[in-house]
Amino acid sequence: MAYQKRTKDQLAARVAQDIPEGAVVNLGIGQPTLVANHIPKEREVLLHSENGLLGMGPAPAPGQEDYDLINAGKQPVTLLPGGSYFHHTDSFAMMRGGHLDICVLGAFQVSATGDLANWHTGEKDAIPAVGGAMDLAVGARQTWVMMDLLTKQGESKVVQACTYPLTGIACVKRIYSDLCTLDCTPQGLKLIDLVDGLTHAELEKMIGLPIQA
Output the CA torsion 168→174→176→180 (10° steps): 130
109 neighbors 70 (Cβ within 8 angstroms): no
Among 18, 22, 13, 80, smallest CA distance to 49 is for 80
Cα 153–Cα 4–Cα 145 angle in degrees, nearest 5: 60
Which sign does the torsion angle of CA 203, 204, 209, 212 carry?
positive
* Exposure b/e, 119-142, CB count within 10 A at least 16 = b: bbbeeeeeeeeebbbbbbbbbbeb
CA atoms within 13 A on the CB side of 209: 21
Burial track 4-24 (b if 16+ CB lie within 10 A, e otherwise): eebeeeebbbbbbeebeeebb
Running DSSP on this structure, what letter comes out for residue 26? Answer: E
**Residues assigned a catalytic role:** 50
Q: Which of 16, 90, 7, 78 is nearest to 51 (CA)?
A: 90
